[in-house]
A and B are shown apart, each in its own frame.
Chain A
Amino acid sequence: MNQTRRNVLKAGGGASLYALLAAAGMLRPDAALAADWNQKAFEAKNLKDAFDALGAGSRADSIGIFMTAPEIAENGAVVPIGAVSKLPGTESIAILIAKNPTALAASFDIPLGTEPAVSTRVKMAETSDVLVLVKAQGKYYVTKKEIKVTIGGCGG
């Protein structure tokens, strides 16, 4: 499983891929993800607004970000999410839930010496894509996974 992915990473092919993606228009150095509580980002009603408010208006899909999350969350009120970045120079990790009333769930600053890996539990209103956004060496990378929710955890 994931053999090709590993080989790509091992071969350093990843690096050139990132360079390519970077060249494709990833260069927008904006404010750090979690310097202060970013009201605009946390109140954004959809993914695009949240990404824009985070300064991640352009970002690349990455195979260097791993998400541990259930395929099906029986209870949307408590959905465990783990996010791990293998991207060198990871500065911050954010978790977004596409179909929640507000998309951005959390953003973590990763100081030097701290593993670029965090786990937490989130609430999901309904079945949705969950995205992990990583800022590494000033650029943004993203990965996503759909999590099916049987009972929603927001509204009420």
Chain B
Amino acid sequence: MADPMRIRAVAKDGGVNVKILMAHEMETGQRKDGAGKPIPAHFIQHVSATWQGKVVLSANWGTAIAKNPFLEFSFKGGQKGEKIQVTWTDNKGDKRTDEATIN
């Protein structure tokens, strides 16, 4: 099971700024191991963030996103104390959802 995401959601000027750090290898499939065998690709393909049941960001990623991915975005609305949920799914079907409270 992957490590939890670190999510910071801060209410500001009528909107919420969200910063997410995910723990993931983001293996491209281009690299080879010590024995010269290709290391299979293992990367996050989809990320979505929801607030009050509404999707506020949906992203599809390829292998070029850096290891331990960082993502920042902002949406309108959202009050201090409300929650946002972030879910990622990788190409092997692993999935992780974490929740954060808006500050």
Contact = CB atoms under 8 A, between A and B. Distances in A.
Contacts of B60: 34, 36-38, 42, 106-108
Interface residues of B, number: 31
Most buried by A among B15, B55, B62, B73: B62
A154 interface: yes
- Chain B interface, DSSP helix/strand/loop, else mixed: strand
Contacts of A153: 66
B71 interface: yes
A110 interface: yes
Contact of B64 (A37, A123, A156): A123
A122 B67 CA distance: 8
A25 interface: no
Interface string A58-87: 000000000000000000011110100000
A108, A113, A120, A154: residue with the most chain B Cβ atoms closer than 10 Å: A120
Interface of B: 15, 26, 28, 30-32, 45-46, 54-67, 69-77
Interface of A: 34, 36-38, 42, 77-80, 82, 97, 100-102, 104-111, 113-115, 117-124, 153-156
Given A113-B56, A115-B75, 4 more contacts: A108-B59, A109-B55, A111-B54, A114-B57
